[in-house]
Amino acid sequence: MRSAGRIAPGLSLLALSATAGAAPCVASERDLLGAWRSRNGPFEQMELVRENEKQVFNSWLHDRPEVSGGSWTLAKCLLQITSASESATWDLEIISWSAFRMTLRERGERAVLTYRRIH
């Protein structure tokens, strides 16, 4: 809860942003399409594409395939990535976005992850 511009004790900023919900997401699915690179994210390089009406996720580590043929969705500023075998998922909250850069946070974590558009 907020009071006079201050956060109530025991309530984290992450909890506030997760409950804010009323504000529109800073990015759309179309905005995220393309290839991205990060030094501190769970994927060194990742690609979010649409193929045959499906949203496909691929990633690379040291220029070698890491996750291929996965899927992704975007709902309420939460980018959810699922491996092709559905054995692993990643929930990434979009904090900010521009045409060339986006910042994310893994659900439940405090660290901010920065991705830059490759092309």
113 in a domain, yes or no?
Answer: yes
pLDDT tens figures, 35-86: 999 999 999 999 999 999 999 999 999 999 999 999 999 999 999 999 999 9
9 in a domain, yes or no?
Answer: no
1 in a domain, yes or no?
Answer: no
Q: Taking all residues of the chain, what is their mean pLDDT, rounded to a whole number?
A: 85
- From CA 20, how far away is CA 8, in angstroms rounded? 15
6 in a domain, yes or no?
Answer: no
Number of structural domains in the chain: 1
CATH number for the domain harbouring residue 62: 2.40.128.280
DSSP state of 113: E
17 in a domain, yes or no?
Answer: no
Domain containing 43: what range? 24-117
Phi, psi dihedrals of residue 16, rounded to the nearest 5°:
-65, -45
93 in a domain, yes or no?
Answer: yes
pLDDT tens figures, 24-38: 899 999 999 999 999
pLDDT-derived band at 119 (thresholds 50, 70, 90) equals confident
What was the pLDDT predicted at 117? 97
- From CA 1, how far away is CA 76, in angstroms rounded? 20
